[in-house]
Structure formats: structure tokens, C-alpha cells
Structure 1
Amino acid sequence: MKSIFEKEALEEILTRIGQLQPNAERQWGKMNVEQMLAHCNETMLVVTDQKTTKRSLLGRIIGPIFKKDYLGEKPLRRNSPTNPQFVVVDERVFAREKELLMTLVKQFSQGGEAKCTKQAHSFFGPFTPKEWGTSTYKHLDHHLQQFGA
């Protein structure tokens, strides 16, 4: 599985973020492109240790059971439930959210595994730095596909 810590995967994700346009239409889900960018920014703030998150009760119970599948080769499922901590419903400014996401992705990748967050994933629980790299790539890939990038 690809990791955001790999140069090629990082470049791919940054290129795809760069291709997003304000009029991009979602292929599934409820968010518009600005909300998706803001949602991704919220998760990137966690992995860069600029925000803390709480483990959900449901995640504590069943998260470890699904962790292996989540980190596996299969893409994330469409319309999967979003942790309420990361739901964005207000209107956002496209250019600002896009620029912030590019900055946060670069910051996380450049820090490498050595500077990776020690926080647990809000649903799946403890992650190794390698697992955070894979999870971050998969999450961004999922939402970029959602908007055709």
C-alpha cells in the first residue's frame, strides 16, 4: 500500500490536490469540494499534532477488528460514516482550504515517520508511524477520487 511518506505518493497527492477546481462535483457523499478540503485539513491537523482527537466508544469496541481491512489494499468504501469531530457543514473558501491542505500534507510528509503523531486514530486506535502514512494516503486518495481528481 502507498504511503504519504513515499516521494512518488506525495507528489501524486499534491498534483491531484492541485487539479481540484471550485466547481468540482462530488461523485458521492454530502460534502461540497470546499467542505471536503476542510474535512481533510481537520484530519491533517491531527496527524501533524496541531489538534487532538477523542477515541469514539464504538471505535474502542470494534475499531481494532476493522483496522487491518482499513489499512489494506482495497480502497475506502464510499459513503462510510464520518467521525462527527471531522464533519464540516459550514461554507469555506476554496483557495484557502486548498492551500492549507497542500501545506499540511507537505509538513506531515517532510516530518517523516520520526516526527509522526503518537495519537491514536479516533476509530481504529493506536497506529504506528507507517500505518499513519498509509492511512493518510488512503484518506486523501478517497476524497480526491470523490471529486474526480
Structure 2
Amino acid sequence: MAANFLDPSDNKALISRLFRLMPDARPRWGTMTAGQVLVHCADQLRVSTGAKRLTSFWVPSFLKPLLKKRFVTHFQGFKPSMKTLRELDSRRGMTPPVSFAADHATLIGLLSPARYNPRGIEHPLFGLLSAQEFGEITWQHLDHHLRQFGV
């Protein structure tokens, strides 16, 4: 079974890694700063749960299962060159960073498993994601960015 941010043990390990991310860390790839990555990851959680609306991309309901199959069920991992949605892009639509400390605290708060329905979420691109699917794909996304900064 893959790592899942909703699992208490995996969550604790992920949070521990987040505390090792430093504001002056340099990326191994990409253009985002460590502070921008915190907001980017927080925005991913906001988009996933509907707290931040997607306006750049709309998926008809009948296509959501196909996207879910490709990008969640059979996902092969995040690549350094992958493009992101405008709402998550640090140059176009991401929530503006406040400060490293504030954005760090916000992300840690959003990673609390108690915030999420144990039955899953209704994702705007993938439709219904079980808690297992949501927890695993979110863990993979954060792991990708933590590895980006050597954490």
C-alpha cells in the first residue's frame, strides 16, 4: 500500500519532512521558491476540496472517471517537468504567499486528517476520490515537492 497523508504514521513523517524545509532552500528543478511550494501545496488541497475554485479547467462529469483512472488510479508519479493548473501556478493564479512561517503553518493545518471526510472527497477534476485515493495522490504531490528541495 502506498503512503497516505491521512494515515497517522505517514502524516507524522510528512510533517517532519515539512519542518526540515528551509526558506532559503534551492530547488533541484523548477522555478518555485520553498515558500511558493508551501502555498502551491496548500492550494492543491484547497482545489481538491472545493475551497479554491478551478476556473481555468472544466471537466464534464462523464470524463472525470477517465481522468481519475489516468491521473490517480494508474498514476506513475509526478515528473519534474509536469505542468500545473493555472490556479496552482506561482506565476499565474496561485494564492499569494504571506510569509514562510505563515504559509508553513497554513499547510500543516490543511494536512490535518481530521479536516477530511473519512469517506473521501468530490474532486473537481477526478470526481469522487476515496479517502485512500485522495490521501495517496496528495502524499505523492507533497513528496514530489519535498524531493524538489532535497527534503
TM range (shorter): 0.7 to 0.9
Change (3 A) 1:24 1:55: same
> 1:3 & 1:113 partners in 2: Cα distance?
14
> 1:53 & 1:134 partners in 2: Cα distance?
21
Equivalent positions of 1:19-58 (< 5 A) are 19-53=20-54, 56=57
Q: Does the 8 A contact of 1:48 with 1:104 survive in 2? A: no
Other structure's SS at 2:29 match = coil
Aligned length: 142
* Structure-2 residue corresponding to 1:103: 109
Task: Describe the superposition over 1:10-41 as per-residue Cα deviations: whole angstroms up to 9, x where unpaired.
Answer: 01110011111111010111111111111011
> 1:105 & 1:134 partners in 2: Cα distance?
12
> Quick one: which of 118, 123, 128 aligns to 2:122?
118
Change (3 A) 1:47 1:63: closer
Other structure's SS at 1:118 match = strand
**TM-score normalised by L of structure 2:** 0.79
Gapped regions of structure 1 (runs ≥ 5): none
Task: Describe the superposition over 1:82-115 as per-residue Cα deviations: whole angstroms up to 9, x where unpaired.
Answer: 1111112366521111111111112xx1245426
Which is further off, 41-50 or 92-101? Answer: 41-50
Following superposition, the deviation at residue 119 of structure 1 comes to: 2.7
Task: Describe the superposition over 1:108-130 as per-residue Cα deviations: whole angstroms up to 9, x where unpaired.
Answer: x124542643233x3x4442222
Q: Does the 8 A contact of 1:5 with 1:113 survive in 2? A: no
**TM-score normalised by L of structure 1:** 0.79
Gapped regions of structure 2 (runs ≥ 5): none
* Structure-1 residue corresponding to 2:81: 79
* Structure-2 residue corresponding to 1:63: 67
Other structure's SS at 1:12 match = helix
Q: CA RMSD of the aligned region, Å?
A: 2.6
